[in-house]
Amino acid sequence: MDAVIVESKLILKKGNKEEIQKKMQENMQSRKDKQPLEFPSAGSVFKRGEGYIAAKLIDECGLKGTKVGDAEVSEKHAGFIINKGNATAKDVIELIEKIIETVKQKTGFEIQKELLIIGD
């Protein structure tokens, strides 16, 4: 890691409480509609790249529902790998590698992990 932020200054504006609450509810509903929040996951697995959206490429490659052990590419959002039961870190890593390889072969794009994997 090149830098660590140790301090920040935020400038906030006073807003309308009802409008803010409405916007917060809309944002939460959007997440519920688009992300697989009903399953454990590590969140979004791949970075958005220059000229492409990783989840769209994964979907176009037909990888939604692809599994390694209990790790599965979410049917709801292809950028998420979900745990359908007893997925191991090994399952997730193997699935990530399979996704990266398949997308490269089918589209020519080299998608990048957003996750930092530590250890063996």
* Residues of the chain where predicted confidence (pLDDT) is lower than 70: 1, 120
Query: pLDDT at position 1, please?
Result: 60
Instruction: Return the structure tokens found at 67.
Output: 């599994």
Question: How is the chain split into domains, by residue range?
Answer: 40-115
Q: What is the pLDDT of residue 72?
A: 97
User: Which option is the CATH number for 40-115: 3.90.1300.10, 3.40.640.10, 3.90.78.10, 3.10.20.30?
Assistant: 3.90.78.10
Residue 12, pLDDT score: 92
Report how far apart, in Å, the C-alpha atoms of 27 and of each of 24, 31, 67, 102 are: 5, 6, 29, 32
Per-residue pLDDT at 3: 86
Q: Kindly list the distances between the CA atom of residue 73 and the CA atoms of 38, 63, 83, 109, in Å, as whole numbers in the listed order.
A: 14, 7, 9, 18
Question: In whole numbers, what is the pLDDT of the chain averaged over residues?
Answer: 94
Distance CA 102, CA 109 (A): 10
